Amino acid sequence: MKINYEAMVLSCIDPRFQPIVYEYLKNKKLKGKYSSFTVAGSSLGVTANKFKKWHKTFWDNFEASVKLHNIKKLIVINHQDCGAAKIINGKKEFNKENEKKIHIESFIKLKKIFKNKYPSLDFEFKFIELNKRIKRFK
């Protein structure tokens, strides 16, 4: 039986982040209306070469959600103080500017891939600071 849901949510595994993501989606009135894929780094985990083995798993899951849940969009939620961003950054100096650049580059890469594969679906990206301030990158 095919069920209609609003979106698939791609988010990070960080335990500090889970209640924030839940509250954000609840406030958007999406409770019970999305499928989810949770991986270290969220968009970083599905775009960075460091995590290349994970990419196909995400796209296979997304395709299953499209077929099974008739979703209309992908919502990507990344967060500040991300361990995956630190791994990607390597031994270089790591600060808020470096981290923001890593997240934005990942968002741009993922959006490009997504729009090529699914031009009729919507794409939304959020960057959440752990103090619950939400920023939107366009």
For the chain, list the domains and their CATH numbers: 7-130 (3.40.1050.10)
**Mean pLDDT score of the chain:** 91
pLDDT confidence of residue 1: 57
60 against 130, higher pLDDT: 60
pLDDT confidence band for 128 (50 / 70 / 90) = confident
In three-state secondary structure terms, 48 is: coil
Rounded to the nearest angstrom, the gap between the alpha carbon of residue 9 and the centroid of all alpha carbons in its chain is 7
pLDDT confidence band for 135 (50 / 70 / 90) = very low
Who's near 40: CB < 8 A, 6+ residues apart? 12, 13, 51, 83, 84
Q: How many residues does the chain have?
A: 138
Give mean pLDDT, residues 106-125. Answer: 97
CA 62, CA 41: separation in Å to the nearest integer?
17
φ/ψ (deg, to 5) at 34: -145, 150
61 against 138, higher pLDDT: 61
In percent, the amount of the chain with pLDDT more than 90 equals 77
Start-to-end C-alpha separation, the chain: 36
Q: State yes or no: pLDDT of 9 exceeds 50.
A: yes
- Strand order through the sheet with 7-11: 34-38, 7-11, 73-79, 122-128, 134-136
Give mean pLDDT, residues 15-39. Answer: 93
CB 79 within 8 A of CB 12: yes
